[in-house]
């Protein structure tokens, strides 16, 4: 199972809310009054994204907390999580599907859209290629758990 890295930290200025958690690959950040609340909010935010882009599906989001500053995110539907990463990174980069396709040296956006829609499975190698086409500046480190 793929694990996506995130970070959690105490708010530098103090005062509520005290904890900030982010997962850059999903372009999501949230906060909470306690560490546990911040992690719960993150789990909810990721589930909301999945529901919004793919409809209500039965997926389980798990957060792995190292107790320090790193967290990991896994999903019971790994291909759906990979599709969400493509969507969120493309939105963050502010580019169209056609622009991604051009970067890949292809002509048809329909093939790429199947990856974002979650209707076409991708290998880790293909996923890396697609993420690089969406955002060449991103450093993709995939951990398997």
77 DSSP β-pair partners: none
Going from N- to C-terminal start, the domains of the chain cover: 2-75, 78-135
**Would you place residue 141 in the very low, low, confident or very high pLDDT band (cuts 50, 70, 90)?**
low
pLDDT over 90 at 15, yes or no: no
pLDDT over 70 at 117, yes or no: yes
pTM of the model: 0.90
pLDDT over 70 at 43, yes or no: yes
Closest Cα to residue 21, out of 87, 10, 12? 10
Average pLDDT, rounded, for the chain? 91
Mean pLDDT of 12-36: 89
- The pLDDT assigned to 57 comes to 80
The position carrying tokens 């291909």 is 79
Mean pLDDT of 134-145: 73
List all residues 6 or more positions away from 38 whose beta carbon is below 8 Å from its beta carbon.
Answer: 8, 17, 19, 20, 21, 30, 31, 32
Give tens-digit pLDDT for 50-90: 999 999 888 999 999 999 999 999 999 999 999 999 999 99
Query: In CATH terms, is domain 2-75 a member of 3.30.160?
Result: yes
- The pLDDT assigned to 14 comes to 64
As its CATH architecture, domain 78-135 has: Orthogonal Bundle (1.10)
- The pLDDT assigned to 145 comes to 54
Give me 132's structure tokens.
């690089």
The position carrying tokens 């609340």 is 37
Mean pLDDT of 107-128: 91
């Amino acid at each position: 199972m793929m694990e996506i890295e995130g970070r959690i930290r105490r708010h530098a200025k103090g005062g509520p809310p005290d904890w900030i958690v982010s997962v850059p690959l999903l372009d999501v950040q949230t906060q909470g009054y306690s560490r546990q609340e911040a992690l719960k909010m993150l789990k909810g935010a990721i589930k909301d994204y999945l529901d919004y882009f793919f409809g209500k599906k039965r997926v389980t989001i798990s957060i792995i907390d190292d107790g320090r500053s790193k967290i990991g995110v896994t999903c019971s539907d790994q291909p759906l999580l990979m599709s969400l990463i493509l969507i969120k990174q493309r939105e963050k980069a502010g580019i169209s599907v056609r622009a991604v396709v051009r970067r890949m040296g292809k002509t048809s956006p329909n093939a790429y859209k199947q990856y974002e829609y979650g209707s076409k499975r991708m290998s880790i190698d293909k996923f890396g290629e697609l993420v690089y086409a969406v955002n060449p500046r991103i450093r993709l480190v995939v951990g398997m758990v």
